[in-house]
Amino acid sequence: MAELTPKERVMRLLRKEPIDTMPFFSGMGMVVMPGIEKAGVNFPTIHTDAERMAMSAIWSARLMDFDCVVIPYDMTMESEAVGNTISLYEDSEDILYPTIPNKMWSTLEEVTIPDNIWEKGRLKFLPEAIQIIKKEAPELPIGCWQLGPFTQAGQMLELDLMLKGVFKQKELVANVLDQLTDMIIGIGKFLQDAGCDYITLREPGVAADLLSPRTFKEFIQPRLTRILAAWESPKLLHICGQTEPLLAMMNECGADGLTVDIKCDVKKGREILGSDVLFMGNVDTYTMTCDPKTKKEQTIEHIKGIIDGGMDAVMPGCDLWPAIIEENMKAAVDTTHEYGAKPSPAVGRL
């Protein structure tokens, strides 16, 4: 059935050109335990070494038939690069992503983002990881991502400083967001120059169950728009949580496509956006891919529901949790490829 390589399929979809069948891909983490094990490495080390990151990404995609690889995996690279210390949980038996347990800045005034931050810390090895993937797996498109400025602020500072500051310290909040916006533009260009095929701006911290649509319009939308205008296409915008009140504004930000999670009603979302907007999501990344009690048939129905609801590609609504149930994960991908042979609202078929 497959006529196109995953890379051709995804890149054509992102340009809204006809494809052979619907891809299963993402703008966010797609690394899974079978791939990590096949690469012969353990979880804490895939974040700190270009080769391990690249090979765990490639094997995850190959074993599960994903239509992409996505790097990096964790959200702390930028915060580490400004001088914070990460916790890797190397002694834990559980899968734990790196975190910043203590932030060095305790006030909004202190935030100062260094120039050329991409030359610091782990950010500087991402081009090497991209090159390894290009060489080893030329058939796979490489997705990279950046957190949006508000969510990134939550990695650099205590998030409640930002949340309260929206009312009490507007100028300081604006200053932090502007600095981070410049940083995100710079890192995105650095990743695009290094050869990433598409980039996703993910701003999960601003959904309508946290911030008001008014605050979104005042503080968030202008900066997301500025970032997306500065990056090359293809570029996606992802927000998780309650997004229906935000979709119209998200669509004004200038992305080539929008992605959402399970809390967004796909049919309502499609109604709001119309049939011309590239709209993708919204696989439930715990119940459908990790819960041992979920039967394969339920996962298949979930995927068919997403496609029938009017999505142009099936995408996990968040980072895939690495401890997947393989049978269900494969069923999700296979169903996407088989059931997605028909055209979607914004993308035709060859």
**166 binds another protein, rule: CB under 8 A:** yes
Q: Length of the chain in residues, anyone?
A: 350
**286 binds another protein, rule: CB under 8 A:** yes
Out of 143, 148, 241, 281, the only residue in the binding site for another protein (CB under 8 A) is: 241
Q: How many other C-beta atoms are found inside a 10 Å radius of the C-beta of residue 334?
A: 15
Q: Candidates 111-119, 177-185, 189-197, 210-218 — which segment interacts with another protein by CB under 8 A?
A: 210-218
**321 binds another protein, rule: CB under 8 A:** yes
Closest by Cα among 320, 292, 285 to 306:
285
Q: How many other C-beta atoms are found inside a 10 Å radius of the C-beta of residue 350?
A: 10
**265 binds another protein, rule: CB under 8 A:** no
**209 binds another protein, rule: CB under 8 A:** yes
What separation, in Å, do the N-terminal and C-terminal C-alpha atoms of the chain show? Answer: 12
**89 binds another protein, rule: CB under 8 A:** yes
**95 binds another protein, rule: CB under 8 A:** yes
Question: What torsion, rounded to 10 degrees, do the Cα atoms 314, 317, 322, 324 define?
Answer: -60
- Tokens, residue 280: 């993708």
Closest by Cα among 324, 277, 270, 334 to 300:
334
Distance (Å) of CA 210 to CA 87, 207, 238: 27, 6, 16
Rg (CA), the chain: 19
**99 binds another protein, rule: CB under 8 A:** yes
Give me the helices (H) in 89-148, please. Answer: 126-136
What's the one-letter identity of residue 261? D
Out of 35, 121, 148, 154, the only residue in the binding site for another protein (CB under 8 A) is: 154
**176 binds another protein, rule: CB under 8 A:** no
- Site size with another protein, rule: CB under 8 A: 35
**339 binds another protein, rule: CB under 8 A:** no
Q: Candidates 3-11, 132-140, 181-189, 206-214 — which segment interacts with another protein by CB under 8 A?
A: 206-214
Q: Candidates 60-68, 153-161, 223-231, 301-309 — which segment interacts with another protein by CB under 8 A?
A: 153-161
Q: Which residues bind another protein (CB under 8 A)?
A: 87, 89, 92, 94-97, 99-101, 154, 159-160, 163-164, 166-168, 208-212, 215, 241, 285-287, 290-291, 293, 318-319, 321, 323
